[in-house]
Structures are given as C-alpha cells and as structure tokens.
Structure 1
Amino acid sequence: MNIPEFDIPTIDIGAFNDPEAAERHRDAVAAQVDRAARTVGFMQIVGHGIPASTLHAFAAATDAFFALDSVVKAAYRCPPSVNRGYTPPKSEALAASLGLVSAADLFEAFNIGTEAAEYPALTLPATDYAPNIWPAEVPGFAAAVGDWFAAAGSVARTMVRIFGRALGLGDDGLVSVTDHSLDVLRMINYRLPSPETVLEPDQVGMGAHTDYGIVTVLWADAVPGLEVLGDGGRWHPVQPAPGALLVNLGDALARWTNDEWISTMHRVAAPRIGGVLVPRRSAAYFHDGNIDAVIAPLSTCVGPGRPARYEPVTVGEHLRAKLAGSRSRVLNPGAEREAARLVR
C-alpha cells in the first residue's frame, strides 16, 4: 500500500494583517487554509507579525519560572477544576481526555487565561474565567507573558477570520461563538530528572490527544518531540520552521464543521537527540470559543447525505469533560470519534 507523503504546508497570512491587501489575496490564503484543514489539520504560519523581541522576552520569563525550585513552583498550583497556575510533572495524562488509559505525562506547565473581569457586562463562570496568578519570584513575568498572550491571541483571532471566509461564512462568520472566547496560554517544559532517566512503558512527554477548542497557536523549540498522526497510523515528526508558528485545529471546530475539517491527533515523544533525552519548551495558545456557545454543525456543513455526526454540546460542557480526563483521570465518554483515530 502506498501511503501519501505527509506534508504540513507553510501559509503566509500577511494579507489578513494588511488593510490594503486585495480581496483575491485574502481568498487565496483562505483557500490554502481550507485545504490544510481538510487534509492534515496542521499548518506552519508565517506573516503573523509578532516581533522577535516579544518572543525573546517571553521565553526568558518562562525559563526563569521553570528554573525555580519545585517547592516554590508548587505554591502556584491550582485545583484541577481551575485551569490556571502550575502543573507539576507526571500530574496529567492527556490521553485520558480521549477516554484512554496511559502513563502520566512528563511535562510541567504554567497556565494563564481569559479572566471574567475582561467582560464586565457579562456574567461568566468564575471557575472557567478565573483570575490569573503570577509568580512573584520572576520580575517582569506578568508583563512578558501578558505580551505573548496578547500577540498569540491576535494570531488566533486572525485565523478565525480566515476560517470564516474559508467556510463560506464571511470573515465575521464565527464572531458569535468567539466574542468572549475562553482562551488559555499553556507554557510547557519537558522537565526530565537527567538524560539517563529510565521511562515507564509507553511514557511520553505528552500523551496522544486532539486539542479541545477552535484553534491552537503553538510556539516550540526546534527540538524533536512533537509528532502528528497521519494516514496508516504512522507518527510523523514536526518541527516549526524558522520564524513560523504551528497552528492546528481543535475538536470544537471539527465538530462545527461536521468533521469536514480535522482536529489532528498529536503527541510529544520524550525529546531525544542522538538517543539522549534533552530539554524542550513550548507554549500553546488555545482559542476555545465562548463558554456558552453551542457546538453543532454549521449550516454549510450539513445537508442531504451529510447528517450531523455529533449531538449538540456547549463549549463549557465539552471542555470540562476533556479537562476532567487529562487532569483528574475521569475518562471522557464523549470522545469516541476522536479516540477511534488512534486505536483503529
């Protein structure tokens, strides 16, 4: 059997950041995104407009936090129901978000996100739109991380405009489900005790999973680890191109498109170079949609011979089931279609 070559396209989205760009150029970008969304669910994004200085300050701040003593970092841990603060190594298993049992993941993380106070006219659940906590031990952490949160969020919102155009809804076609989006920035460090660490069977940096929301904007070191599941059940290594951000689709968008677009299965293998375990950093900005938005197939994605493949569910219900799996090991019973891609 000939397995097609696996390819993650590089797409320049600069036309959507240039008010003078011709509509045909924006249409061409939307067509490229549509093709990637239907075939692989991942893309390398350039022309995003984030200055290198913003990234450098952000990376320095996260490095400083993860270098702190484990006892100091543990003071910033939140309950599993609050998606903020510090997550120690081996305290999550992302595969459980798919209803699968696996060894605990190696990564440690620190999360910030959208706060209810940003939308004073709305009554938003405080647990979901929780206040952020900031480590006092790292001067300038809040400013540097906040700048990256804003920059990555701008890229995510640009991608949503492109998605709307690609789906025939217009650039503002998804605004009604994203105008108070529950967004989270997860800073991740694949913390390993030593290069000689012996791993448990099937233990990885981060277990196989699909992302939960609409779109993920990912910055990562140019270090091996990230792998994407392709046709034939093969895992393909992926590294960001110089100056590019990786963008992938989440389950909510796949469900809105009735699986015409793909939320691609991916994982992070224990990072190795020459067979030796090495450090690796990344930061994922999750643009997940409004907590009260109903995920049901878009009108352009259903019709005769194209029945809805999912029961309607709110973004809040969907995210809580996913997080209960990864953080509390309550296996998610509502992810059968996503999990089937991994086990078939």
Structure 2
Amino acid sequence: MNEELLRLDHLSIDYKVKDGYLSAVNDVSCVVNKGEVFAIVGESGCGKSTVAHSVMNLLPDGNEEIKGKIIFKGEDLRRYGPKEMENIRGKEIGMIFQNPLDSLNPVYTVGGQVAEAILLDKVDKQEAWNRVINLFKDVKMPDAEERANSFPHELSGGMRQRVMIAMMLSRNPELLIADEPTTALDVTIEAQILDIMKELKEKFNTAIMLITHNFGLVAEIADRIGIMYAGEMVESGDVFEIFAAPTHPYTRLLMEALPRKTKAEGRLKTIEGSVPRITKKKPGCRFANRCPYALTNCYCEDPPVVHVSENHFCRCHLTGKEA
C-alpha cells in the first residue's frame, strides 16, 4: 500500500508582470508517495521548476499569487511562516538545483559546507566531519577525505553535483527534489549520478521528485510520471503504462521526438511552435495551437480530466476518441 508523502491539490501560481499576470502553473494536482520517484517532464517554460520551488517556498517574494494546497505529511505548507519553513528545508525536504556551482560558496571547502548542515542537528564537529566523509563515500566521491577539503572550483561538475546530493541527504530528508540534476553533465557522469540516486533511494527510502525534460532519465529511474505543458499537468500515471501507451497528443509527440537507435528509422520528429506565454486565462486547451489532432471545441472549452485507468489520467478532449 502506497503511503502519501506530498500532495499538490489544485495548485495555481500566477506571476505579476507588466501586462497583468503570467500563468506559470494552473490547477496542478499530483501525489508523491514515500520511497518512490515521481518525475515531472516537459519542455522549458512549462512550469516544472516553479512547482518545485513552490514546495520549498522559494518563489520570488511578493511577486506571485498562489492558490491551492501543498500538503506535506498531512500539513499544508502554505500556512507555514518563514521560521517554520526553515525547519522543513533540509531536514524534511531537500533540493538539488540545476547548477551546483551557483549553490556552493566559493570561499569555503565543500566538506565544511556539508558539515554546516549537519551541525544544525546539534552534533559535535568531529561527528559531523565523520558523517561528511561517509556521505561522500555514499555518493561515490573518489578520495572522499581529500575532496572534502577542496573548494568548489577545484572539483568537476559531476563531483560538485555529488557534493550537492550529499548535502541534501546529510539530514536524512524524506523528500528530495531534484531540479534538472544532470543538465550540465556529460552522458557518462549523468549515468553515474542516476545510479547514485537509485542506490540512495533504496538505502534511505527517500522519495524523489525529479524535474527533467529528459525521457531517458525518466525511463531509467522513475516509478510514476507527470507530463506538464504550459503550466498544466496534461497526463500522469505509471511510467511503464505511459511509455507503452501515451494518451495525450503532447505526450505522444514528445515520445516521437526521442532519438532513434538507427538512421534507418528516419529523422527525429519535432513539435512545431513553442510553449505559449499565458497572460490571460481563457477556456480551451493550451496545447491546441500545436496539436495536429485539435478539434473545434479544443480552442474554446477546457479539456476534461479523464481517468484512462485507476492511476492514469489525461486532460484532453480526444481521450477515448480515435486521433
């Protein structure tokens, strides 16, 4: 039986802009269970990172309007003040950002920065340092003792990302949010980071919310998947079910854009157009202007949320119809 850890309940986020409000996230609902990997996938500008930052309450201060609930372990995080969120961040929810070099202080050693997080739990310095070394070994850091005394600029991108993973795991959070954790890494290092995340999930039973646009990562590590487009979650379900039978036209087109094994299978397909900038909310499917199967009502009526199976839903007028 899956035990719910995090639930987003009809979450909507609008940013204040010059010409009104920009709809970054619209009516998103999903659940992350304990010990599972839930991947959120979509093009750049679809609202994936906004969802992640909203869970951590790290959105630009005073520049957003939020509706809906963010339920973590039965409590609505939207009701928490800054001091209460400080107790949640790191201790119960950790976050790995896209560029580790931006997240690490250049004038302190990486081991010292990881130890700083551990010292918040009132342990002595020697025990904290021993835990840093063990964490570095857990994330497969070569020469852990030596690297702990290195500064961020002395490490490669893959090593810096290992430091960030170690830092986020230093206080044993129940949920780890990984925002494009392998974007700047080469394929070999990307595979190593994935293996580390899978091992740590098994060892610590940590739930992971993986934010990515890479379907290869999803197939490798995720248990369930949510597809986002223009701020909306258009399809969600078991990763094997969606890979075997994608239902939403956007999901299908993303799948068709995946690299082929051989040249004989033809050129990569692309999706014409780009993600729209929604400043005025109006009825209709946000993907309609790029969808090759769009019907007349797709442009003027909000698509219904249809349950394809018990754990698989799709937000589309075409669901159940032949496309």
TM-score using structure 1 length? 0.24
Q: Select the structure that is richer in strand.
A: 2
TM-score using structure 2 length? 0.25
